[in-house]
Amino acid sequence: MEITVHGTQTPLGGKEVSVGAEAPAARITKLDGSQNVIGMIAPNTQLIIAIPSLKTEVCSLGAKKFNELVKQFKKLDTIMVTTDDLEFVKEYAQKESIDAAQIVIDTERQFAKKFGLLITEGKLRDRLARAVFVIDREGIVAYKELVGEIVDEVDYEACVNAIDSIVSVKQKGHTHENWMSV
């Protein structure tokens, strides 16, 4: 897999994740320094947003825009993943009032590798490609967008439509819930 960085073909490392496949579990670092796992089965639908660097205008704009767009969804966990340093991300989240999403750091690049987003060469080496994943409560990737050119924004409307269609679907749950009524 490849993207372009200012028009230059740039390979991505890791395993590509496809729509319809199980989302891998990836360990990330929260802003309090603790570790957590994202992806896989979860109580709520997950929107995972890969952000190359919040220090750039496009990434910062995207984070703020997503923070506003996701406020309409009650059963959605929004996780913004970056490779920026912890202190900068803490200050950014507070300064920009990111309150509808959790910003986490891919310190070990586990997320980047498991989701096929690790930029492997060039000036952005070891950063994330820009991408979004919507993972349903069963842990299946229901929507994916990998942005082809690093300086372009994601398709916000398509992403929100995908979230809306997934969050509004009733989960079947277990088929043995009435076992006591026999």
What residues are annotated to the active site? 59
Helix, strand, coil fractions of the chain, as percent rounded to 5:
25, 30, 45
Token pair of 120, please?
A: 């492997």
Residue 85 burial (C-beta neighbours within 10 Å; 0-12, 13-18, 19+)? exposed
Angle among Cα 44, 88, 29 to the nearest 5 degrees reads: 40
Stated length of the chain: 182
Displacement of CA 129 from its chain's centroid (Å): 11
Angle among Cα 148, 153, 158 to the nearest 5 degrees reads: 90
Question: Are residues 10 and 2 in contact, defined by beta-carbon separation less than 8 angstroms?
Answer: yes
Whole-number Å distance between alpha carbons of 92 and 61: 12
